[in-house]
Amino acid sequence: MKYQSWRLQDDKKALHCEPLNVVSCRRKEVVVGADQYLQTANEQDTVLIVEDSTTFSALLSRRINQTLALKTVVAGTLKEAISILSERSNEFCVAVLDLNLPDASEGEIITPVLSYGIPVIVFTGNCSDALRKKLLDRNVVDYITKESLADIDYLLKLIARLRKNCNTKIMVVDDSSTTRLYITNLLRLRNFQVVEADGGMQALELLQQHPDVKLVITDFNMPEMDGLELTRRIRIHHKRDRLSIIGISALGSGALSAQFLKKGANDFLTKPFVNEEFSYRIEQNLELMEHIEEISFLSQKDYLTGLGNRRYFFDSAPKLLAAAKKEGKNVGVSMLDIDFFKKVNDTYGHDGGDEALRHLSLILREFEAPRTLVSRFGGEEFCILIIDENGDSGERVENLRKRVEESSVCWLHGSFSITVSIGHTCGPVMALEKMLSKADELLYSAKQSGRNRVVQNNMNNQRQ
Protein backbone atom coordinates (compact mmCIF):
# COMPACT_ATOMS: atom_id res chain seq x y z
CA MET A 1 0.00 0.00 0.00
CA LYS A 2 1.43 3.41 -0.92
CA TYR A 3 1.68 6.06 1.73
CA GLN A 4 -0.55 8.44 -0.20
CA SER A 5 -3.43 5.99 0.08
CA TRP A 6 -3.51 6.47 3.85
CA ARG A 7 -4.76 10.03 3.49
CA LEU A 8 -8.17 10.65 4.95
CA GLN A 9 -11.08 12.36 3.36
CA ASP A 10 -11.84 15.93 4.31
CA ASP A 11 -12.83 16.30 7.94
CA LYS A 12 -16.21 18.01 7.87
CA LYS A 13 -16.79 18.20 11.57
CA ALA A 14 -17.97 21.00 13.77
CA LEU A 15 -15.49 20.50 16.60
CA HIS A 16 -16.45 22.19 19.85
CA CYS A 17 -13.95 24.01 22.09
CA GLU A 18 -12.68 22.60 25.37
CA PRO A 19 -10.97 24.19 28.36
CA LEU A 20 -7.18 24.15 28.54
CA ASN A 21 -5.90 21.04 30.26
CA VAL A 22 -2.42 21.84 31.55
CA VAL A 23 -0.22 18.77 31.65
CA SER A 24 2.10 18.37 34.64
CA CYS A 25 5.23 16.32 33.94
CA ARG A 26 6.40 13.95 36.65
CA ARG A 27 10.17 13.82 36.84
CA LYS A 28 13.08 11.84 38.24
CA GLU A 29 16.86 12.11 37.91
CA VAL A 30 18.68 9.51 35.87
CA VAL A 31 22.30 9.03 34.82
CA VAL A 32 22.71 8.81 31.05
CA GLY A 33 25.71 7.13 29.44
CA ALA A 34 29.36 7.53 30.32
CA ASP A 35 28.88 11.28 30.52
CA GLN A 36 26.98 10.77 33.79
CA TYR A 37 24.90 13.80 32.92
CA LEU A 38 22.01 14.29 35.30
CA GLN A 39 19.00 14.54 33.09
CA THR A 40 15.34 14.69 33.86
CA ALA A 41 13.09 12.01 32.43
CA ASN A 42 9.36 11.66 32.33
CA GLU A 43 7.92 8.65 34.12
CA GLN A 44 5.49 8.29 31.22
CA ASP A 45 7.34 6.44 28.47
CA THR A 46 4.53 5.31 26.17
CA VAL A 47 2.84 6.90 23.16
CA LEU A 48 -0.85 6.17 22.57
CA ILE A 49 -1.63 5.78 18.85
CA VAL A 50 -5.29 5.81 17.86
CA GLU A 51 -5.43 4.88 14.18
CA ASP A 52 -7.64 2.44 12.27
CA SER A 53 -5.08 1.79 9.49
CA THR A 54 -3.02 -1.16 10.74
CA THR A 55 -0.36 -0.51 8.10
CA PHE A 56 0.12 3.08 9.12
CA SER A 57 -0.06 2.43 12.87
CA ALA A 58 2.55 -0.35 12.51
CA LEU A 59 4.89 1.98 10.61
CA LEU A 60 4.39 4.77 13.12
CA SER A 61 4.85 2.45 16.09
CA ARG A 62 8.07 1.04 14.68
CA ARG A 63 9.56 4.50 14.01
CA ILE A 64 8.68 5.70 17.52
CA ASN A 65 10.24 2.59 19.08
CA GLN A 66 13.42 2.80 17.03
CA THR A 67 13.97 6.56 16.94
CA LEU A 68 12.73 7.70 20.35
CA ALA A 69 13.10 4.48 22.35
CA LEU A 70 9.52 4.90 23.56
CA LYS A 71 6.89 2.21 23.87
CA THR A 72 3.62 2.40 21.97
CA VAL A 73 0.07 1.21 22.50
CA VAL A 74 -2.24 1.12 19.49
CA ALA A 75 -6.03 1.39 19.41
CA GLY A 76 -8.08 1.11 16.23
CA THR A 77 -11.40 2.45 17.51
CA LEU A 78 -12.78 4.98 19.99
CA LYS A 79 -14.15 2.17 22.16
CA GLU A 80 -10.79 0.41 22.29
CA ALA A 81 -9.00 3.67 23.11
CA ILE A 82 -11.37 4.47 25.99
CA SER A 83 -10.85 0.98 27.41
CA ILE A 84 -7.06 1.43 27.30
CA LEU A 85 -7.24 4.89 28.87
CA SER A 86 -9.38 3.70 31.76
CA GLU A 87 -6.66 1.23 32.77
CA ARG A 88 -3.36 2.78 31.65
CA SER A 89 -3.76 6.54 31.25
CA ASN A 90 -0.84 7.31 33.59
CA GLU A 91 1.62 5.61 31.20
CA PHE A 92 1.14 7.96 28.24
CA CYS A 93 3.41 10.94 27.58
CA VAL A 94 1.50 11.91 24.41
CA ALA A 95 -1.32 10.67 22.18
CA VAL A 96 -1.27 10.65 18.37
CA LEU A 97 -4.85 10.65 17.12
CA ASP A 98 -6.57 10.07 13.82
CA LEU A 99 -9.84 12.01 13.59
CA ASN A 100 -11.75 9.58 11.42
CA LEU A 101 -12.33 6.25 13.22
CA PRO A 102 -14.85 3.50 12.39
CA ASP A 103 -16.96 4.33 15.46
CA ALA A 104 -16.09 8.05 15.70
CA SER A 105 -15.82 9.87 12.39
CA GLU A 106 -16.05 13.44 13.73
CA GLY A 107 -13.04 13.72 16.02
CA GLU A 108 -14.81 12.50 19.16
CA ILE A 109 -11.58 10.78 20.26
CA ILE A 110 -10.01 14.12 21.27
CA THR A 111 -12.31 14.75 24.26
CA PRO A 112 -11.64 11.59 26.31
CA VAL A 113 -7.89 11.78 25.72
CA LEU A 114 -7.68 15.41 26.84
CA SER A 115 -9.79 14.58 29.90
CA TYR A 116 -6.88 12.44 31.16
CA GLY A 117 -4.43 15.34 30.80
CA ILE A 118 -2.54 13.70 27.93
CA PRO A 119 -1.05 16.03 25.27
CA VAL A 120 -2.74 15.44 21.92
CA ILE A 121 -1.19 15.54 18.44
CA VAL A 122 -3.66 15.12 15.58
CA PHE A 123 -2.37 13.17 12.57
CA THR A 124 -5.00 13.57 9.87
CA GLY A 125 -5.43 13.15 6.13
CA ASN A 126 -6.38 16.70 5.27
CA CYS A 127 -6.67 19.87 7.27
CA SER A 128 -8.58 22.88 6.01
CA ASP A 129 -8.15 26.33 7.56
CA ALA A 130 -11.48 25.95 9.35
CA LEU A 131 -10.52 22.54 10.78
CA ARG A 132 -7.09 23.83 11.77
CA LYS A 133 -8.65 26.64 13.82
CA LYS A 134 -11.11 24.27 15.49
CA LEU A 135 -8.32 21.88 16.40
CA LEU A 136 -6.15 24.59 17.93
CA ASP A 137 -9.17 25.95 19.81
CA ARG A 138 -9.52 22.52 21.37
CA ASN A 139 -6.00 22.88 22.77
CA VAL A 140 -4.35 20.10 20.84
CA VAL A 141 -0.58 20.51 20.78
CA ASP A 142 -0.38 20.42 17.00
CA TYR A 143 -1.87 18.91 13.87
CA ILE A 144 0.03 17.12 11.11
CA THR A 145 -1.26 16.05 7.72
CA LYS A 146 -0.41 12.62 6.28
CA GLU A 147 1.16 13.69 3.03
CA SER A 148 4.67 12.21 3.02
CA LEU A 149 7.18 10.31 5.12
CA ALA A 150 8.65 13.68 6.09
CA ASP A 151 5.52 14.26 8.15
CA ILE A 152 6.39 11.26 10.30
CA ASP A 153 9.84 12.74 10.83
CA TYR A 154 8.21 15.97 11.98
CA LEU A 155 5.94 14.02 14.34
CA LEU A 156 8.93 12.24 15.91
CA LYS A 157 10.73 15.54 16.36
CA LEU A 158 7.63 17.04 17.99
CA ILE A 159 7.26 14.15 20.44
CA ALA A 160 10.93 14.42 21.39
CA ARG A 161 10.52 18.17 21.87
CA LEU A 162 7.49 17.75 24.14
CA ARG A 163 9.45 15.44 26.42
CA LYS A 164 12.43 17.78 26.48
CA ASN A 165 10.17 20.78 27.19
CA CYS A 166 9.22 19.28 30.55
CA ASN A 167 12.74 20.20 31.71
CA THR A 168 12.82 23.63 30.05
CA LYS A 169 11.96 26.79 31.95
CA ILE A 170 10.68 29.94 30.21
CA MET A 171 9.99 33.36 31.76
CA VAL A 172 7.09 35.50 30.54
CA VAL A 173 7.37 39.24 31.31
CA ASP A 174 4.32 41.43 30.72
CA ASP A 175 2.43 43.93 32.85
CA SER A 176 -0.87 42.68 31.42
CA SER A 177 -2.13 39.69 33.42
CA THR A 178 -4.40 38.75 30.51
CA THR A 179 -1.51 38.58 28.06
CA ARG A 180 0.65 36.70 30.54
CA LEU A 181 -2.09 34.11 31.06
CA TYR A 182 -2.57 33.69 27.32
CA ILE A 183 1.15 33.16 26.63
CA THR A 184 1.60 30.98 29.70
CA ASN A 185 -1.22 28.68 28.56
CA LEU A 186 0.36 28.34 25.12
CA LEU A 187 3.67 27.39 26.70
CA ARG A 188 2.20 24.94 29.19
CA LEU A 189 0.24 23.29 26.42
CA ARG A 190 3.65 22.30 25.01
CA ASN A 191 4.87 21.13 28.44
CA PHE A 192 7.16 24.05 29.31
CA GLN A 193 7.77 25.16 32.89
CA VAL A 194 6.78 28.82 33.16
CA VAL A 195 7.92 31.66 35.42
CA GLU A 196 5.83 34.85 35.31
CA ALA A 197 6.91 38.44 35.97
CA ASP A 198 4.73 41.55 35.82
CA GLY A 199 7.61 43.88 35.00
CA GLY A 200 11.31 44.28 34.34
CA MET A 201 12.47 44.63 37.96
CA GLN A 202 10.63 41.50 39.05
CA ALA A 203 12.01 39.67 35.99
CA LEU A 204 15.60 40.48 37.01
CA GLU A 205 14.94 39.30 40.57
CA LEU A 206 13.35 36.06 39.35
CA LEU A 207 16.26 35.37 37.00
CA GLN A 208 18.53 35.29 40.03
CA GLN A 209 16.19 32.84 41.73
CA HIS A 210 15.81 30.73 38.57
CA PRO A 211 19.24 30.57 36.89
CA ASP A 212 18.02 27.63 34.78
CA VAL A 213 15.62 29.82 32.76
CA LYS A 214 16.43 29.16 29.10
CA LEU A 215 14.29 31.78 27.40
CA VAL A 216 12.69 35.12 28.29
CA ILE A 217 9.64 36.46 26.44
CA THR A 218 9.25 40.16 27.18
CA ASP A 219 6.74 42.77 26.13
CA PHE A 220 8.06 46.16 25.02
CA ASN A 221 5.61 48.63 26.56
CA MET A 222 5.80 48.22 30.36
CA PRO A 223 5.95 50.81 33.18
CA GLU A 224 9.20 51.49 35.09
CA MET A 225 11.33 49.42 32.69
CA ASP A 226 10.44 48.65 29.09
CA GLY A 227 11.42 45.50 27.24
CA LEU A 228 14.42 47.12 25.55
CA GLU A 229 16.00 48.13 28.87
CA LEU A 230 15.21 44.73 30.37
CA THR A 231 16.91 43.04 27.41
CA ARG A 232 19.98 45.26 27.82
CA ARG A 233 20.26 44.47 31.54
CA ILE A 234 19.77 40.73 31.04
CA ARG A 235 22.57 40.66 28.46
CA ILE A 236 25.05 42.09 31.01
CA HIS A 237 25.11 38.74 32.79
CA HIS A 238 23.56 36.26 30.33
CA LYS A 239 25.06 35.49 26.91
CA ARG A 240 23.00 34.68 23.83
CA ASP A 241 24.18 31.08 23.73
CA ARG A 242 22.95 30.48 27.30
CA LEU A 243 19.69 32.44 27.41
CA SER A 244 17.44 33.44 24.52
CA ILE A 245 15.27 36.57 24.56
CA ILE A 246 12.22 37.15 22.38
CA GLY A 247 10.71 40.64 22.31
CA ILE A 248 6.99 41.06 21.62
CA SER A 249 4.91 44.17 20.97
CA ALA A 250 1.73 45.36 19.33
CA LEU A 251 3.84 48.20 17.95
CA GLY A 252 5.41 45.92 15.39
CA SER A 253 7.46 48.37 13.40
CA GLY A 254 10.69 47.29 11.77
CA ALA A 255 12.52 49.90 13.82
CA LEU A 256 11.37 48.40 17.13
CA SER A 257 12.32 44.91 16.00
CA ALA A 258 15.78 46.18 15.05
CA GLN A 259 16.19 47.90 18.43
CA PHE A 260 15.37 44.68 20.28
CA LEU A 261 17.92 42.76 18.23
CA LYS A 262 20.58 45.43 18.80
CA LYS A 263 20.00 45.32 22.55
CA GLY A 264 20.61 41.56 22.53
CA ALA A 265 17.28 39.87 21.74
CA ASN A 266 17.39 36.72 19.63
CA ASP A 267 14.00 37.23 18.01
CA PHE A 268 10.94 39.49 17.83
CA LEU A 269 7.21 38.85 17.37
CA THR A 270 4.41 41.28 16.61
CA LYS A 271 1.14 40.95 18.56
CA PRO A 272 -1.31 39.49 17.79
CA PHE A 273 0.70 36.51 16.55
CA VAL A 274 -0.38 33.18 15.11
CA ASN A 275 -0.14 30.54 17.83
CA GLU A 276 1.71 28.09 15.60
CA GLU A 277 4.32 30.66 14.60
CA PHE A 278 4.77 31.56 18.28
CA SER A 279 5.42 27.92 19.19
CA TYR A 280 7.80 27.32 16.29
CA ARG A 281 9.79 30.49 17.06
CA ILE A 282 10.12 29.42 20.71
CA GLU A 283 11.36 25.97 19.83
CA GLN A 284 13.59 27.21 17.01
CA ASN A 285 15.44 29.49 19.43
CA LEU A 286 15.77 26.71 22.00
CA GLU A 287 17.07 24.27 19.39
CA LEU A 288 19.68 26.79 18.26
CA MET A 289 20.97 27.12 21.84
CA GLU A 290 20.99 23.34 22.21
CA HIS A 291 23.03 22.95 19.02
CA ILE A 292 25.56 25.52 20.28
CA GLU A 293 25.73 23.74 23.64
CA GLU A 294 26.26 20.40 21.91
CA ILE A 295 29.05 21.80 19.73
CA SER A 296 30.70 23.33 22.80
CA PHE A 297 30.42 20.01 24.64
CA LEU A 298 31.89 18.03 21.75
CA SER A 299 34.81 20.46 21.47
CA GLN A 300 35.70 19.80 25.13
CA LYS A 301 34.85 16.11 25.56
CA ASP A 302 36.25 12.89 24.19
CA TYR A 303 33.55 11.27 22.05
CA LEU A 304 34.38 7.68 23.10
CA THR A 305 34.79 7.91 26.86
CA GLY A 306 32.91 11.09 27.77
CA LEU A 307 35.97 12.34 29.69
CA GLY A 308 37.44 15.75 29.02
CA ASN A 309 39.85 15.93 26.09
CA ARG A 310 43.23 17.71 25.87
CA ARG A 311 41.57 21.03 25.14
CA TYR A 312 39.32 20.67 28.18
CA PHE A 313 42.34 19.77 30.32
CA PHE A 314 44.40 22.79 29.30
CA ASP A 315 41.37 25.10 29.62
CA SER A 316 40.51 23.82 33.11
CA ALA A 317 43.92 23.16 34.66
CA PRO A 318 44.93 26.83 35.23
CA LYS A 319 41.94 27.40 37.53
CA LEU A 320 42.79 24.33 39.60
CA LEU A 321 46.46 25.32 39.81
CA ALA A 322 45.56 28.88 40.83
CA ALA A 323 43.34 27.55 43.65
CA ALA A 324 46.13 25.24 44.88
CA LYS A 325 48.70 28.02 44.82
CA LYS A 326 46.42 30.41 46.71
CA GLU A 327 45.81 27.79 49.40
CA GLY A 328 49.44 26.63 49.55
CA LYS A 329 48.47 23.08 48.56
CA ASN A 330 50.59 20.57 46.66
CA VAL A 331 49.48 19.34 43.27
CA GLY A 332 49.69 15.79 41.92
CA VAL A 333 49.98 15.03 38.20
CA SER A 334 49.66 11.51 36.80
CA MET A 335 50.15 10.21 33.28
CA LEU A 336 48.85 6.69 32.63
CA ASP A 337 48.15 4.39 29.75
CA ILE A 338 46.95 0.86 29.13
CA ASP A 339 49.68 -1.78 29.00
CA PHE A 340 50.11 -3.69 25.73
CA PHE A 341 47.14 -1.89 24.20
CA LYS A 342 48.17 -2.96 20.69
CA LYS A 343 47.85 -6.56 21.81
CA VAL A 344 44.32 -5.81 23.11
CA ASN A 345 43.38 -4.46 19.67
CA ASP A 346 45.03 -7.39 17.88
CA THR A 347 43.28 -9.95 20.11
CA TYR A 348 39.79 -8.44 20.48
CA GLY A 349 39.66 -6.06 17.54
CA HIS A 350 39.31 -2.31 17.66
CA ASP A 351 35.81 -2.62 19.11
CA GLY A 352 37.32 -4.58 22.00
CA GLY A 353 39.96 -1.90 22.38
CA ASP A 354 37.28 0.78 22.50
CA GLU A 355 35.46 -1.19 25.19
CA ALA A 356 38.69 -1.34 27.22
CA LEU A 357 39.02 2.44 26.96
CA ARG A 358 35.41 2.92 28.06
CA HIS A 359 35.95 0.50 30.95
CA LEU A 360 39.02 2.41 32.14
CA SER A 361 37.20 5.74 31.80
CA LEU A 362 34.43 4.55 34.12
CA ILE A 363 37.02 3.61 36.76
CA LEU A 364 38.70 6.99 36.30
CA ARG A 365 35.34 8.63 36.91
CA GLU A 366 35.25 6.97 40.32
CA PHE A 367 38.55 8.77 40.94
CA GLU A 368 37.09 12.15 39.99
CA ALA A 369 36.31 14.75 42.64
CA PRO A 370 35.53 18.49 42.63
CA ARG A 371 39.27 19.27 42.85
CA THR A 372 40.44 16.55 40.48
CA LEU A 373 40.75 16.82 36.71
CA VAL A 374 40.70 13.64 34.58
CA SER A 375 41.19 13.74 30.81
CA ARG A 376 41.92 11.48 27.89
CA PHE A 377 45.01 12.84 26.16
CA GLY A 378 44.71 10.58 23.14
CA GLY A 379 44.97 6.92 22.20
CA GLU A 380 45.30 4.89 25.40
CA GLU A 381 46.88 7.75 27.37
CA PHE A 382 45.10 9.60 30.19
CA CYS A 383 46.07 12.39 32.57
CA ILE A 384 45.03 13.23 36.14
CA LEU A 385 45.59 16.57 37.89
CA ILE A 386 44.68 16.65 41.57
CA ILE A 387 45.00 19.10 44.46
CA ASP A 388 46.73 16.95 47.10
CA GLU A 389 44.54 17.93 50.05
CA ASN A 390 45.73 15.25 52.49
CA GLY A 391 49.12 14.30 51.10
CA ASP A 392 47.76 10.98 49.85
CA SER A 393 47.59 11.48 46.08
CA GLY A 394 50.28 8.83 45.50
CA GLU A 395 48.33 6.32 47.57
CA ARG A 396 45.14 7.13 45.69
CA VAL A 397 46.88 6.59 42.35
CA GLU A 398 48.19 3.21 43.54
CA ASN A 399 44.66 2.24 44.59
CA LEU A 400 43.48 3.26 41.13
CA ARG A 401 46.06 0.95 39.53
CA LYS A 402 44.89 -1.95 41.73
CA ARG A 403 41.25 -1.22 40.90
CA VAL A 404 42.01 -1.54 37.18
CA GLU A 405 44.02 -4.73 37.68
CA GLU A 406 41.28 -6.41 39.71
CA SER A 407 38.45 -5.50 37.31
CA SER A 408 37.38 -7.17 34.07
CA VAL A 409 36.32 -5.72 30.74
CA CYS A 410 33.02 -7.30 29.67
CA TRP A 411 33.26 -8.22 26.02
CA LEU A 412 30.79 -10.20 23.91
CA HIS A 413 30.13 -13.47 25.81
CA GLY A 414 33.15 -13.22 28.08
CA SER A 415 35.65 -10.78 29.53
CA PHE A 416 39.32 -9.87 29.57
CA SER A 417 41.64 -7.97 31.90
CA ILE A 418 43.85 -4.93 31.42
CA THR A 419 46.51 -3.20 33.50
CA VAL A 420 47.88 0.34 33.49
CA SER A 421 51.26 1.92 34.05
CA ILE A 422 51.31 5.27 35.85
CA GLY A 423 53.85 8.02 36.31
CA HIS A 424 52.98 10.29 39.24
CA THR A 425 54.65 13.45 40.49
CA CYS A 426 53.54 15.61 43.40
CA GLY A 427 54.73 18.89 44.85
CA PRO A 428 54.20 22.67 44.95
CA VAL A 429 52.52 24.35 41.98
CA MET A 430 54.93 24.65 39.05
CA ALA A 431 54.58 25.37 35.35
CA LEU A 432 52.01 22.89 34.04
CA GLU A 433 54.22 21.84 31.13
CA LYS A 434 57.05 20.96 33.53
CA MET A 435 54.80 18.82 35.75
CA LEU A 436 53.37 17.02 32.72
CA SER A 437 56.85 16.39 31.35
CA LYS A 438 58.02 14.94 34.67
CA ALA A 439 54.94 12.69 34.95
CA ASP A 440 55.56 11.50 31.40
CA GLU A 441 59.16 10.60 32.26
CA LEU A 442 57.95 8.61 35.26
CA LEU A 443 55.38 6.82 33.07
CA TYR A 444 58.19 5.79 30.74
CA SER A 445 60.12 4.44 33.76
CA ALA A 446 57.06 2.46 34.88
CA LYS A 447 56.86 0.79 31.48
CA GLN A 448 60.57 0.13 31.29
CA SER A 449 60.59 -1.47 34.75
CA GLY A 450 57.88 -4.03 34.04
CA ARG A 451 54.50 -2.23 33.59
CA ASN A 452 51.39 -2.51 35.83
CA ARG A 453 52.98 -0.25 38.42
CA VAL A 454 53.18 3.34 39.66
CA VAL A 455 56.48 5.16 39.56
CA GLN A 456 56.36 8.41 41.50
CA ASN A 457 58.52 11.10 43.03
CA ASN A 458 58.14 14.18 45.19
CA MET A 459 58.95 17.56 43.68
CA ASN A 460 59.05 19.55 46.93
CA ASN A 461 62.69 20.30 46.32
CA GLN A 462 62.24 21.16 42.65
CA ARG A 463 60.23 24.37 42.91
CA GLN A 464 60.58 26.50 39.81
End-to-end CA distance of the chain: 77
Length in residues, the chain? 464
CA 102 to chain CA centroid, nearest Å: 40
Do the bridges between strand 193-197 and strand 213-219 make them parallel or antiparallel, or are there none, so unpaired? unpaired
Q: Which of 191, 171, 139 is nearest to 248 (CA)?
A: 171
Of 87, 380, 395, 441, which residue is the catalytic one?
380
Q: Which of 316, 458, 302 is nearest to 381 (CA)?
A: 302
For residues 265 and 245, what is the distance between their CA atoms, to the nearest angstrom? Answer: 5
CB atoms within 10 A of CB 386: 26
What's the Rg (C-alpha) of the chain? 29
Residue type, 5: S
Return phi, psi of residue 47, to 5°. Answer: -105, 130
Which residues contact residue 432 at a Cβ distance below 8 angstroms, ignoring those fewer than 6 apart? Answer: 314, 317, 318, 321
Please list the residues that pair with 253 across neighbouring strands.
Answer: none
398: Cβ–Cβ under 8 A, 6 or more apart, which residues? Answer: 454
Q: Specify whether 294 is catalytic.
A: no
Task: Give 4's strand partners.
Answer: none
Q: Cβ(162)–Cβ(184) under 8 Å?
A: no
Q: Are 18 and 139 in contact (CB under 8 A)?
A: yes
Of 385, 379, 340, give the one whose Cα is nearest residue 364.
385
Is residue 314 within 8 Å of residue 299, measured between CB atoms? no
Q: From residue 92, how far is each of 63, 95, 321 by CA, in Å?
A: 17, 7, 50
Task: Tell me which residues are annotated as active site.
Answer: 380
